[in-house]
Chain A
């Protein structure tokens, strides 16, 4: 096909219209900047929170010791094991939580219980107090889309960004194509914000269904890849996310079950988490996943979640207000399994691995206190950054970074031309799988990618295995020109696969460099089974170098005392 090209100029280009992207666009617009959002799906329902979310992580300074900014920062550091700079989190996220909650309420999102006008708060995942506000977030994305419409912020839906325009020193915008019309986009901006979420579909799924992922399967790591290719740094990419999910359905909802006081049983009728953590089922997520993994691998599965002991009111809150909001279809799933939570146990298992911007996540694009990446004029927010901290982090970092870019644009009048050859080259690359006369479907390649990642860079890793995996990923990479996309939808998936393959290589190289084990199954090295707080209280930093992916270690800055 011969694609038409459309060129845009704007102050702030927001790539990805999930929660972080929408908030960034709102803040940049309100700060006086001209804004454009390029969104691969449709802003009304895109991103990890597209179909809703029921819990918002927050401290509220209610007077309790655990509810202060300091206590919350300490929790942040403890959960991320010091592998982030909490000062960045403080500036972009922590100090803004109260203001963000008020803002969401002004958007019509019900953060408080209507009958009592108070916040319903629950505690899980090792929190010192009930940090999760249970809220009515089923339609939070439509509410944000309304705010974009009110401000007349231009949004191009179905615009899949594939690359950044970069002159080697700074980012001048982004390129992509429309997955429905095939149009090519060249968007030039004074500042570009990557808000594209995490990377899923990179490891085998226990159900055998690749898109049955915990976080959105449509997030393919394009932020990591485009930032890396532009020369920006990524951190801790070996540390994946693993959680506990209903057996067969990688649905969100664990925090609701454990936050309401659910028990985890093994097949011997033992509440097994008490062996692994003093807080039992209230342990951090990665400990829950490791404990459940051990039970299965040592022959004590199946494991179950049990909420039969909850009061009628608590069970009703769980099944009416929490589960169907965090994952719209989870209650239907339980019904289709023929189960009733007041009567039956729900079987659980360990989820697939993924790169996810969940609470405590330490992997992603390196940003500073303003949200800027290590490349000029490139910013990042939400799940693709370090630190990110889930929904609450996406709202706050998105808003903070949006404000910052508006401020930066006020002092800059430049729309750089240049890099025309790069744009022409990207156009060639993007449509190549579609224009190819024949070839194989992307699925075959993506299945092979997952197989390699599962076999060699999976739940349990070692040096020989990771090196073997890197070799096989290289071999797979040499064959990508064999893929043929029959239509634009397949073209989108083919390009997603190419990004995932590079993320896989980055993960593998980083996993090789971290010669210790950390955060349960997130990075478990059989050849280095202990956590090494001496040599490895460090971030792994990935950067594109002359010899390809270069990994180094960088000591983290302990800023806890400054808060």
Chain B
């Protein structure tokens, strides 16, 4: 699962949802939380991590890549 969101840090700003080049996140407006819906399609580009103002996202590489 490449991007891992720390929901305790996330403030629901939608930056990851808005900026992901692969359209891999969905956003749940009621809970104000993003969800990584398509982990298999991740490029591991780091956009979500870089652009998260709360530093709530870390990239965890799947075992096939390590």
Complexed CA–CA distance, A344 and B50 (Å)? 27
Determine whether A46 belongs to the interface, using a CB cutoff of 8 Å to chain B: yes
- Known A50-B21, A51-B50: A249·B43 in contact at CB below 8 Å: no
- Known A212-B44, A218-B43: A179·B66 in contact at CB below 8 Å: no
Which residues of A360-402 have CB atoms within 8 Å of chain B's CB atoms?
none
- Known A207-B65, A248-B66: A42·B46 in contact at CB below 8 Å: no
Which residues of A5-48 have CB atoms within 8 Å of chain B's CB atoms?
41-42, 44-47
Complexed CA–CA distance, A333 and B47 (Å)? 15
Tell me which residues across on chain A come within 8 A of B65, comparing CB atoms.
Answer: 207, 209, 212, 248-249, 333
Tell me which residues across on chain B come within 8 A of A216, comparing CB atoms.
Answer: 21, 43, 45
Residue of B nearest to A333 (CB): B61
Complexed CA–CA distance, A249 and B41 (Å)? 14
Tell me which residues across on chain A come within 8 A of B41, comparing CB atoms.
Answer: 211, 217, 493
Majority secondary structure of chain B interface residues (helix, strand, loop or mixed)? loop
Determine whether A461 belongs to the interface, using a CB cutoff of 8 Å to chain B: no
Tell me which residues across on chain A come within 8 A of B54, comparing CB atoms.
Answer: none
Determine whether B1 belongs to the interface, using a CB cutoff of 8 Å to chain A: no
Tell me which residues across on chain B come within 8 A of A50, comparing CB atoms.
Answer: 21, 45, 47
Check if A329 sits within 8 Å of B45, measured CB to CB. Answer: yes
A196-228 vs B: 1/0 string, CB under 8 Å? 000000000001111111001110000000000
Determine whether B36 belongs to the interface, using a CB cutoff of 8 Å to chain A: no
Check if B44 sits within 8 Å of A46, measured CB to CB. Answer: no
Check if A46 sits within 8 Å of B50, measured CB to CB. Answer: no
Tell me which residues across on chain B come within 8 A of A42, comparing CB atoms.
Answer: 18-21
Complexed CA–CA distance, A213 and B42 (Å)? 10
Check if B23 sits within 8 Å of A489, measured CB to CB. Answer: yes
Check if B21 sits within 8 Å of A249, measured CB to CB. Answer: no
Determine whether A337 belongs to the interface, using a CB cutoff of 8 Å to chain B: yes
A488-532 vs B: 1/0 string, CB under 8 Å? 010011000000000000000000000000000000000000000
Determine whether B29 belongs to the interface, using a CB cutoff of 8 Å to chain A: no
Complexed CA–CA distance, A296 and B39 (Å)? 30
- Known A218-B21, A218-B22, A489-B38: A328·B46 in contact at CB below 8 Å: yes
- Known A211-B43, A337-B66: A328·B50 in contact at CB below 8 Å: yes
Determine whether A158 belongs to the interface, using a CB cutoff of 8 Å to chain B: yes
Tell me which residues across on chain A come within 8 A of B18, comparing CB atoms.
Answer: 42, 44
Tell me which residues across on chain A come within 8 A of B38, comparing CB atoms.
Answer: 489
Q: A44-B19, A45-B45, A217-B43 are in contact. List 14 more A-B contacts (CB 8 A).
A: A41-B20, A41-B22, A45-B51, A47-B21, A50-B47, A209-B62, A209-B64, A217-B22, A218-B21, A218-B43, A248-B65, A248-B66, A332-B61, A336-B61
User: Can you identify 11 A-B contacts, CB atoms within 8 angstroms?
Assistant: A45-B45, A138-B50, A207-B64, A212-B43, A248-B64, A327-B46, A328-B50, A332-B59, A332-B61, A333-B65, A336-B61
A-side interface residues toward B, CB under 8 Å?
41-42, 44-47, 50-51, 138, 158, 179-180, 207-213, 216-218, 248-249, 251, 327-329, 332-333, 336-337, 489, 492-493
B-side interface residues toward A, CB under 8 Å?
18-23, 37-38, 40-47, 49-51, 59-62, 64-66
